[in-house]
Chain A
Amino acid sequence: GAGVSQTPSNKVTEKGKYVELRCDPISGHTALYWYRQSLGQGPEFLIYFQGTGAADDSGLPNDRFFAVRPEGSVSTLKIQRTERGDSAVYLCASSLALNTEAFFGQGTRLTVV
């Protein structure tokens, strides 16, 4: 597709389980961003990739959160031992380079019950 694709669009999981959220950026985009948006709030930064490397992971809330981008395209956000507070919309965006326009995916709505 032409845009940023995120899968699944919705995920319900039980507390304590492991989840993976996937982001397919626009082809050729080297920069990839993960954000999460809790109900009623604006999105908050999680991690930024430039190519395959995590250039800035200062927004990851704790060591239960991890993200990879092994080939510099698709990225996976991994959450271990999920907690109810992890429930949010997880957004992915990509851009051609650092200061070019960013395009956002539709998000994955994660609900931890």
Chain B
Amino acid sequence: KNEVEQSPQNLTAQEGEFITINCSYSVGISALHWLQQHPGGGIVSLFMLSSGKKKHGRLIATINIQEKHSSLHITASHPRDSAVYICAVRFLNKFYFGSGTKLNVKP
């Protein structure tokens, strides 16, 4: 069993839909990162969370430490949101990565 599990693995949505990607983890946690990876491999850090909720534009990330669960929400999705979204849990000096959720937003 992986230390970090993401769901769904693949997600296809129509432009404008509300999207949720889930992440559950079994390791200890210092912080949780949501990352975005576009074709070509480049990674962008979207959020770092250790509690509660953060919002940036159309993106919202929440974390429940007791339940060891985090969600990434995208409101009013757009084709340019198409990417792989990766949940990464940081514990001390290590990151534990989920296998990613491949999102395709169709116009």
Give the interface of A toward B (CB within 8 A): 31, 33, 35, 37, 41-45, 48, 50, 55-56, 89, 91, 93, 98-99, 101-107, 109
Q: Are A103 and B45 in contact (CB under 8 A)?
A: yes
Q: Are B41 and A98 in contact (CB under 8 A)?
A: no
Cross-chain contact of B31 among A33, A56, A99, A106 (Cβ < 8 A) = A99
Q: Apart from A42-B98, A91-B43, A98-B93, what are 20 other A-B pairs with CB-CB below 8 Å? A: A33-B93, A35-B95, A43-B86, A43-B97, A45-B94, A45-B95, A48-B93, A48-B94, A50-B93, A55-B93, A99-B31, A101-B31, A101-B33, A101-B45, A102-B45, A104-B35, A104-B43, A104-B45, A107-B43, A109-B41
CB nearest neighbor in A for B48: A101
- Inter-chain contacts of B35 with A (CB < 8 A): 104
Q: Are B48 and A107 in contact (CB under 8 A)?
A: no
Can you pick out 12 interface pairs between chain A and chain B where the beta carbons lie within 8 Å of each other? A35-B97, A41-B99, A42-B4, A42-B97, A42-B99, A48-B93, A89-B41, A101-B45, A102-B90, A105-B43, A106-B42, A109-B41
**Complex Cα spacing A24 to B96, Å:** 22
- Inter-chain contacts of B92 with A (CB < 8 A): 98
Chain B 66-107 residues near chain A, CB threshold 8 A: 86, 88, 90, 92-100
State the 8 A-B residue pairs at the shortest beta-carbon distance, nearest first. A42-B97, A106-B42, A104-B43, A89-B41, A107-B41, A101-B48, A42-B99, A48-B93
Q: Are A33 and B30 in contact (CB under 8 A)?
A: no
Minimal beta-carbon separation of A19 from chain B (angstroms): 17
CB nearest neighbor in A for B33: A102
- Inter-chain contacts of A35 with B (CB < 8 A): 95, 97
Q: Is B27 an interface residue (CB 8 A)?
A: no
Minimal beta-carbon separation of B93 from chain A (angstroms): 5
Minimal beta-carbon separation of A88 from chain B (angstroms): 10
Q: Are A99 and B30 in contact (CB under 8 A)?
A: yes
CB nearest neighbor in A for B90: A102
